[in-house]
Amino acid sequence: MKLLRTIALDPSDTFVFEPAAEPGDWAVSGAFRFWGGDPAVLEGKDRTAFRGGFLGVQSWGWSTLVQIVNVTEQDRAAVVELLARQLIDKLGAPDLDTARTAAEEEIIFAESLCDHPSDTLIAVHRTSENGEVRESFRTLRARGGPKPFKVFSFLEAEGEEQPQEEVDLAHLLAELKRE
Protein backbone atom coordinates (compact mmCIF):
# COMPACT_ATOMS: atom_id res chain seq x y z
CA MET A 1 0.00 0.00 0.00
CA LYS A 2 1.30 3.47 -0.90
CA LEU A 3 0.46 7.09 -0.17
CA LEU A 4 1.95 10.51 -0.82
CA ARG A 5 4.27 12.60 1.35
CA THR A 6 5.45 16.13 0.66
CA ILE A 7 9.09 16.60 -0.22
CA ALA A 8 11.21 19.73 -0.44
CA LEU A 9 14.25 19.47 -2.70
CA ASP A 10 15.08 23.12 -2.07
CA PRO A 11 13.52 26.02 -0.12
CA SER A 12 11.49 27.35 -3.08
CA ASP A 13 8.11 26.25 -1.69
CA THR A 14 8.60 28.63 1.23
CA PHE A 15 8.80 31.50 -1.25
CA VAL A 16 5.91 30.58 -3.53
CA PHE A 17 3.27 29.15 -1.14
CA GLU A 18 1.53 30.60 1.89
CA PRO A 19 1.90 28.48 3.84
CA ALA A 20 4.35 25.92 2.53
CA ALA A 21 3.81 22.33 3.65
CA GLU A 22 6.25 20.78 6.05
CA PRO A 23 8.53 18.23 4.33
CA GLY A 24 7.34 14.69 5.06
CA ASP A 25 3.71 15.74 5.62
CA TRP A 26 1.07 13.33 4.32
CA ALA A 27 -0.38 14.79 1.12
CA VAL A 28 -3.50 14.84 -1.01
CA SER A 29 -4.27 16.69 -4.22
CA GLY A 30 -6.00 19.49 -2.32
CA ALA A 31 -8.13 20.69 -5.25
CA PHE A 32 -11.12 20.70 -2.89
CA ARG A 33 -9.63 23.77 -1.19
CA PHE A 34 -10.61 25.79 -4.29
CA TRP A 35 -14.17 24.47 -4.54
CA GLY A 36 -16.79 27.17 -4.76
CA GLY A 37 -14.35 29.89 -5.76
CA ASP A 38 -13.33 31.33 -9.09
CA PRO A 39 -9.75 30.28 -9.91
CA ALA A 40 -9.59 33.02 -12.55
CA VAL A 41 -9.53 35.70 -9.85
CA LEU A 42 -6.77 34.10 -7.76
CA GLU A 43 -3.54 36.06 -7.51
CA GLY A 44 -0.05 35.62 -6.12
CA LYS A 45 0.55 32.69 -3.81
CA ASP A 46 -3.07 31.53 -3.93
CA ARG A 47 -2.85 31.29 -7.72
CA THR A 48 0.43 29.39 -7.43
CA ALA A 49 -1.15 26.93 -4.97
CA PHE A 50 -4.08 26.41 -7.31
CA ARG A 51 -1.89 25.83 -10.34
CA GLY A 52 0.71 23.51 -8.85
CA GLY A 53 0.31 22.62 -5.19
CA PHE A 54 -0.36 19.42 -3.26
CA LEU A 55 -1.96 19.93 0.15
CA GLY A 56 -0.07 18.80 3.24
CA VAL A 57 -2.65 17.13 5.47
CA GLN A 58 -1.21 18.13 8.84
CA SER A 59 0.39 21.49 8.03
CA TRP A 60 -2.47 22.53 5.68
CA GLY A 61 0.29 24.03 3.53
CA TRP A 62 1.27 23.49 -0.08
CA SER A 63 4.07 21.53 -1.73
CA THR A 64 5.22 21.48 -5.35
CA LEU A 65 6.25 17.83 -5.20
CA VAL A 66 5.12 14.71 -3.39
CA GLN A 67 6.88 11.39 -3.05
CA ILE A 68 5.29 7.95 -3.22
CA VAL A 69 5.98 6.02 -0.01
CA ASN A 70 5.01 2.61 1.34
CA VAL A 71 2.56 2.67 4.25
CA THR A 72 0.83 0.31 6.63
CA GLU A 73 -2.93 -0.02 7.16
CA GLN A 74 -2.45 1.86 10.44
CA ASP A 75 -0.68 4.74 8.64
CA ARG A 76 -3.50 4.94 6.13
CA ALA A 77 -6.19 4.93 8.81
CA ALA A 78 -4.33 7.66 10.72
CA VAL A 79 -4.13 9.83 7.58
CA VAL A 80 -7.86 9.46 6.93
CA GLU A 81 -8.60 10.42 10.54
CA LEU A 82 -6.21 13.39 10.44
CA LEU A 83 -7.71 14.69 7.20
CA ALA A 84 -11.25 14.23 8.55
CA ARG A 85 -10.38 16.30 11.63
CA GLN A 86 -8.81 18.98 9.42
CA LEU A 87 -11.95 19.10 7.27
CA ILE A 88 -13.95 19.84 10.41
CA ASP A 89 -11.48 22.31 11.92
CA LYS A 90 -10.42 24.17 8.77
CA LEU A 91 -13.43 23.90 6.46
CA GLY A 92 -16.36 23.40 8.82
CA ALA A 93 -17.45 19.89 7.83
CA PRO A 94 -20.76 19.25 9.63
CA ASP A 95 -19.76 16.09 11.51
CA LEU A 96 -17.04 13.45 11.79
CA ASP A 97 -18.86 10.83 9.69
CA THR A 98 -19.28 13.25 6.79
CA ALA A 99 -15.67 14.39 7.14
CA ARG A 100 -14.40 10.80 7.22
CA THR A 101 -16.31 9.98 4.05
CA ALA A 102 -14.78 12.98 2.26
CA ALA A 103 -11.32 12.20 3.66
CA GLU A 104 -11.60 8.58 2.51
CA GLU A 105 -12.44 9.76 -1.02
CA GLU A 106 -9.39 12.06 -1.04
CA ILE A 107 -7.11 9.26 0.17
CA ILE A 108 -8.49 6.85 -2.45
CA PHE A 109 -7.68 9.45 -5.11
CA ALA A 110 -4.16 9.93 -3.66
CA GLU A 111 -3.67 6.15 -3.73
CA SER A 112 -4.66 6.11 -7.40
CA LEU A 113 -1.63 8.31 -8.12
CA CYS A 114 0.69 5.80 -6.44
CA ASP A 115 0.80 3.12 -9.15
CA HIS A 116 4.49 3.87 -9.69
CA PRO A 117 7.53 2.62 -7.75
CA SER A 118 8.15 3.99 -4.26
CA ASP A 119 10.27 7.17 -4.20
CA THR A 120 8.78 8.38 -7.49
CA LEU A 121 8.01 12.10 -7.32
CA ILE A 122 4.76 13.55 -8.63
CA ALA A 123 3.94 17.11 -9.72
CA VAL A 124 0.46 18.50 -10.40
CA HIS A 125 -0.77 21.12 -12.84
CA ARG A 126 -4.30 22.50 -12.40
CA THR A 127 -6.36 24.55 -14.79
CA SER A 128 -9.91 25.82 -14.75
CA GLU A 129 -11.86 25.25 -17.94
CA ASN A 130 -15.52 26.20 -18.28
CA GLY A 131 -15.93 26.29 -14.51
CA GLU A 132 -14.34 22.87 -13.97
CA VAL A 133 -10.99 22.23 -12.35
CA ARG A 134 -8.77 19.91 -14.37
CA GLU A 135 -5.69 18.25 -12.89
CA SER A 136 -2.83 16.61 -14.74
CA PHE A 137 0.02 14.79 -13.03
CA ARG A 138 3.61 14.12 -14.04
CA THR A 139 5.98 11.62 -12.53
CA LEU A 140 9.66 12.32 -12.04
CA ARG A 141 12.26 9.63 -11.54
CA ALA A 142 16.00 9.74 -11.30
CA ARG A 143 17.63 8.37 -14.43
CA GLY A 144 18.92 4.85 -13.84
CA GLY A 145 16.66 4.05 -10.88
CA PRO A 146 16.35 5.21 -7.29
CA LYS A 147 19.15 7.45 -6.05
CA PRO A 148 19.36 10.26 -3.56
CA PHE A 149 17.35 13.13 -5.03
CA LYS A 150 19.15 16.23 -6.23
CA VAL A 151 17.25 19.22 -7.48
CA PHE A 152 18.27 19.17 -11.14
CA SER A 153 18.91 15.46 -11.71
CA PHE A 154 15.46 14.51 -13.05
CA LEU A 155 15.41 13.71 -16.71
CA GLU A 156 12.35 11.56 -17.30
CA ALA A 157 8.78 12.81 -17.14
CA GLU A 158 5.63 10.82 -17.75
CA GLY A 159 2.07 12.00 -18.04
CA GLU A 160 0.27 14.61 -20.00
CA GLU A 161 2.09 17.16 -22.09
CA GLN A 162 3.92 19.89 -20.25
CA PRO A 163 1.87 23.06 -19.94
CA GLN A 164 3.02 25.75 -22.34
CA GLU A 165 3.55 28.60 -19.93
CA GLU A 166 6.11 31.29 -19.65
CA VAL A 167 7.26 32.56 -16.30
CA ASP A 168 7.99 36.24 -15.88
CA LEU A 169 10.53 36.17 -13.05
CA ALA A 170 10.74 39.95 -12.84
CA HIS A 171 6.95 40.15 -12.34
CA LEU A 172 7.04 37.40 -9.68
CA LEU A 173 9.82 39.17 -7.82
CA ALA A 174 7.88 42.43 -7.91
CA GLU A 175 4.80 40.58 -6.52
CA LEU A 176 6.86 39.10 -3.68
CA LYS A 177 8.21 42.52 -2.75
CA ARG A 178 4.67 43.93 -2.57
CA GLU A 179 3.47 41.16 -0.22
Please tell me the distance from the alpha carbon of residue 60 to that of residue 38, in angstroms, as a whole number: 20
CA neighbor of 30 nearest in space, from 3, 60, 51, 55: 55
The pLDDT tens digits of the residues spanning 33-82 come to 988 788 888 999 999 999 999 999 999 999 999 999 999 999 999 999 99
The pLDDT tens digits of the residues spanning 8-38 come to 989 999 999 999 999 999 999 999 998 878 8
Phi/psi at 9 (nearest 5 deg)?
-85, -20
Pairing of β 2-7 and β 65-70:
antiparallel
Please tell me the distance from the alpha carbon of residue 55 to that of residue 50, in angstroms, as a whole number: 10
**Coil, strand or helix at 56:** strand
pTM of the model: 0.78
The pLDDT tens digits of the residues spanning 109-163 come to 999 999 999 999 999 999 988 878 899 999 987 666 555 555 444 444 555 555 4
Is the separation of the CB atoms in 107 and 76 below 8 Å?
Answer: yes
Please tell me the distance from the alpha carbon of residue 28 to that of residue 12, in angstroms, as a whole number: 20
